[in-house]
Amino acid sequence: MAENQVKKGGISVETEHIFPIIKKWLYSEKEIFLREIVSNASDAITKLKRLASLGKYDGDEDAYRIDVSFNKTEKTLTVADNGIGMSAEEVEKYICNMALSGAMDFVREYEGENERNAGGIIGHFGLGFYSAFMVADTVDVITKSYLDAPAVCFTCTEDGSYTIEEGVERGRGTSVVMHINEDGEEFLSEGKLREVLNRYCAFMPVEIYLTDEEKEEDAEKKDGEEIKPTPVNDINPLWQKNASDCTEEEYTAFYQKAFSDYRESLFHLHLNADYPLNFKGILYFPKIQENFENLEGKIKLFYNQVFVADNIKEVIPEYLLMLRGVLDCPELPLNVSRSYLQNSAYVTKVSQYIVKKVADKLSSMFRNEREKYEGLWEDIRTFVEYGAICDKKFYDKVKDALLFVKTDGTKLSLSELAEVAGEKKTLYYTSNPAQQSQYIAMYEARNIPVFVMEKMLDDRFMQTVEQNGEGLKFVRVDAGTDALREGETGEEKNETLFTLFEVFSTEKQKLTVSAERLADASVPAILTVSEEARRMGDMMKLYAPDMEDMPVDATLILNMANPIISRLAEGGYGEKAEKVAKQVYSLALLSQRPLSSEEMKEFLCDSYNVLSEIG
Q: Residue 352: CB partners within 8 Å, gap ≥ 6? A: none
Distance of CA 477 to CAs 534, 559, 574, Å? 12, 16, 34
**What is the phi-psi region of residue 522: left when phi exceeds 0, alpha when psi lies from -120 to 50, beta otherwise?**
alpha
Among 453, 477, 501, residue at a domain's last position: 477
**Beta carbons of 209 and 193 less than 8 angstroms apart:** no
Domain assignment of residue 365, yes or no: yes
Q: What's the CA gap between 28 and 25, in Å, rounded?
A: 7
State residue 350's pLDDT score: 85
In this structure, the answer to whether residues 178 and 262 fall within a common structural domain is no
In this structure, the answer to whether residues 197 and 346 fall within a common structural domain is no
State residue 456's pLDDT score: 83
Question: Please, what is the Cα angle at 262 between 244 and 381, to 5 degrees?
Answer: 75
Domain assignment of residue 256, yes or no: yes
In this structure, the answer to whether residues 264 and 131 fall within a common structural domain is no
Domain assignment of residue 9, yes or no: no
State residue 118's pLDDT score: 47
In this structure, the answer to whether residues 499 and 575 fall within a common structural domain is yes
Identity at 295, one-letter amino acid code = L
State residue 339's pLDDT score: 44
| SS3 at position 455 | coil
* DSSP secondary structure string for all residues of 468-527: HTTT-EEEETTS--TTTBSTT---B--HHHHHHHGGG--SSEEEEEEEE-BS-TT--EEE
Identity at 211, one-letter amino acid code = T
In this structure, the answer to whether residues 466 and 585 fall within a common structural domain is no
In this structure, the answer to whether residues 421 and 500 fall within a common structural domain is no
Q: What's the CA gap between 95 and 37, in Å, rounded?
A: 13
State residue 115's pLDDT score: 47
Among 440, 461, 477, residue at a domain's last position: 477
State residue 572's pLDDT score: 85
In this structure, the answer to whether residues 406 and 296 fall within a common structural domain is no
Pairing state between β 76-81 and 173-180: antiparallel
Q: What's the CA gap between 193 and 278, in Å, rounded?
A: 32
pTM: 0.77
Domain assignment of residue 238, yes or no: no
In this structure, the answer to whether residues 34 and 167 fall within a common structural domain is yes
Q: What's the CA gap between 174 and 66, in Å, rounded?
A: 10
Instruction: Kindly report the CATH number assigned to the domain that includes residue 342.
Output: 3.30.230.80
**Beta carbons of 85 and 172 less than 8 angstroms apart:** yes
In this structure, the answer to whether residues 464 and 497 fall within a common structural domain is no
Domain assignment of residue 228, yes or no: no
In this structure, the answer to whether residues 369 and 431 fall within a common structural domain is no
What domain range includes position 582? Answer: 485-615
Instruction: Find, among 328, 31, 299, the residue nearest to 191 by Cα.
Output: 31
Among 450, 477, 504, residue at a domain's last position: 477
Name the domain count of the chain: 4
Q: Determine how many CB atoms are found less than 10 A away from the CB of residue 459.
A: 18
**Beta carbons of 7 and 108 less than 8 angstroms apart:** no
Mean pLDDT, contiguous 10-residue spans, the chain (615 residues): 58 57 62 90 90 81 88 96 91 73 46 48 56 91 91 89 86 94 94 94 93 74 66 93 93 89 88 85 81 62 84 76 86 54 71 92 95 93 91 94 95 91 90 93 92 91 89 92 75 85 85 90 92 79 61 86 92 88 92 87 88 75
- Residue 70 has phi, psi (to 5 degrees) of -140, 155
553, containing H or E segment: strand 552-559
State residue 416's pLDDT score: 92
Domain assignment of residue 7, yes or no: no
Q: Residue 169: CB partners within 8 Å, gap ≥ 6? A: 144, 150, 151
Instruction: Find, among 253, 196, 224, 235, the residue nearest to 79 by Cα.
Output: 196
In this structure, the answer to whether residues 451 and 529 fall within a common structural domain is no
State residue 342's pLDDT score: 52
Domain assignment of residue 231, yes or no: no
In this structure, the answer to whether residues 269 and 308 fall within a common structural domain is yes
State residue 366's pLDDT score: 96
Instruction: Kindly report the CATH number assigned to the domain that includes residue 545.
Output: 1.20.120.790
Domain assignment of residue 194, yes or no: yes
Q: Is 585 exposed, middle or buried (0-12, 13-18, 19+ CB in 10 A)?
A: buried
